[in-house]
Structure 1
C-alpha cells in the first residue's frame, strides 16, 4: 500500500529551502550591488533593495514556525490545509513578491496577496475558535455571530500588525514598503502618502468580512442540522 504524501511537510520544505537560498543570495548581492545614486537605471536593484530582501527572508524563516509554536504552546490543533495555505502565502509574498520582484512585475500583486491573507487569516480564526469550542478543557460555546466576529477581528488585527512592521522597518532601514515616496525619492503628501496602507487594510477587511459571512451561515446551518 502506497503511503500518502504529507503535503504540509513537502510545501514547508520547499519554502524553507527557498528562503535559506534567498538569504544567501541577498547577502551576496548586498556586497556586490551598487549604492543608491550609483545605479545605471531605475530597474537596477541597489543595496537597500537587497537589505529589504534579506529582512523579509529572515522574517519569513521566523514566522514559518508560528503555527507550530501555537500548537505546542496552547495545545491547539491547526489543520494541515491551513499550514499549506500559510506556507503558500509566505512563498508568494516573500520569494515571488520580493526576491522575484512580482510586486513590480505583476500588476496589483500586493493587493492580491492582501486579499488572500485576509481570507486565510479569517479561516484560521474560525479554525482556532472551532478547536476551542470543541475542547473539553474549556467551557466555551460561542454563538455563530461571535465566532464570525472573532475571525474578522483576528484577520484585521494581523493585517494591522503587518502594517506596523512595514512602518517600523521603513523607519529603521530607510525603506519604502508603505509606498510613501515615489521611485525617484519624492515624498508623497496627505492622502497620497496614506493610500497604500489604507488600501491594504481595506482589502484585508473586505476579504476577511466575506469569509466571516460565509463562516457565519455555515456554522448556523451545521448547528440547525444537529438540532
Structure 2
C-alpha cells in the first residue's frame, strides 16, 4: 500500500529525531559513551513505526510517529540533560504518562486493525481491556529493563519500590485515558475515521468518499 503524501506535521517528528541524534553525538563527543549509545538506540527506535509499516497494508497517523519520537526524546533528555534529577520526580512521571499514552494508542490501532481484517472480533469492553493490559505490560517490561541496567551497570534508574509502583500507576492512568477515548469513539460509531488508515483506497476513489464510508450496522457496538 502506498501511503498518502505525509502532512506537514510529520516534519515535527523529523525535528525531534534530529534532536535525539544530536544528543547522541554530543554525548559521545563528551565521553559519555553509555548515554550516547542509549540515545543512538532511541533514535533508531523512533524509526521503527515507519520501518514496520512500510511494506504492510496500513499507514499509521503521523501523530503516532510524533508521539513515539517525543516519548524517546523525553527519556533521552532526562538522562543527557539530567532532568530526571533536577526535575524529580515530576519529569519522570511526565515521561511515563506520554509513553503510556503512546503505547495505548498503538494498542487501540492494533485492536481496530485486527477487528477490521476479521481476524478477531472485539467488543468495546474487550478493546478497553486490551489497551489497559498492553499499556501495563509495556510499563512492566520497561521497569524490568531499568532493573537489569541497574544490576549490570550499577546505575540508579530505579529509586525503590515506591518509585517503581508510582511509575506503573502513571502508566495505568495513561492507558485509562486512551481506553476512555476509545470507548467514546466506539460508542459514537466513529471507528471508520481510524480504519481508513488500514485499507488501500479503491482506484479513483476520492479521500472524502473513503472517510465518509458508513459503518456496517452489524459490526456496530
Give TM-score, length-normalised by structure 2.
Answer: 0.74
Match of 1:127 among 109, 113, 116: 109
**Aligned-residue CA RMSD in angstroms?**
2.6
For the Cα contact (< 8 Å) 2:17–2:69, is it kept in 1?
A: no
2:203 is matched with which residue? Answer: none
2:73 is matched with which residue? Answer: 91
2:16 is matched with which residue? Answer: 15
Looking at structure 2, the residues matched to 202 and 141 of structure 1 have their Cα atoms a distance apart, in angstroms, of: 29
For the Cα contact (< 8 Å) 2:49–2:65, is it kept in 1?
A: yes
Match of 1:158 among 138, 146, 151: 138
Ranges of 4+ aligned residues in structure 1 off by more than 6 Å: none
Give TM-score, length-normalised by structure 1.
Answer: 0.73
Distance 1:198-1:142 versus aligned 2 partners, 3 A rule? same
Looking at structure 2, the residues matched to 60 and 176 of structure 1 have their Cα atoms a distance apart, in angstroms, of: 19
Distance 1:196-1:52 versus aligned 2 partners, 3 A rule? farther
Looking at structure 1, the residues matched to 137 and 37 of structure 2 have their Cα atoms a distance apart, in angstroms, of: 22
Q: Number of aligned pairs? A: 189
Uncovered stretches (5+) of structure 2, i.e. residues with no partner = 191-213
Match of 1:105 among 86, 89, 111: 86
What is the Cα deviation at residue 75 of structure 1?
4.1
Larger radius of gyration: 1
What is the Cα deviation at residue 195 of structure 1?
1.4
Looking at structure 1, the residues matched to 47 and 9 of structure 2 have their Cα atoms a distance apart, in angstroms, of: 16
For the Cα contact (< 8 Å) 1:70–1:76, is it kept in 2?
A: no
1:174 is matched with which residue? Answer: 154
Looking at structure 1, the residues matched to 23 and 172 of structure 2 have their Cα atoms a distance apart, in angstroms, of: 31
Whether 2:168 is the aligned partner of 1:201: answer yes
Looking at structure 1, the residues matched to 150 and 175 of structure 2 have their Cα atoms a distance apart, in angstroms, of: 26
| Secondary structure at 2:188 match in 1 | helix
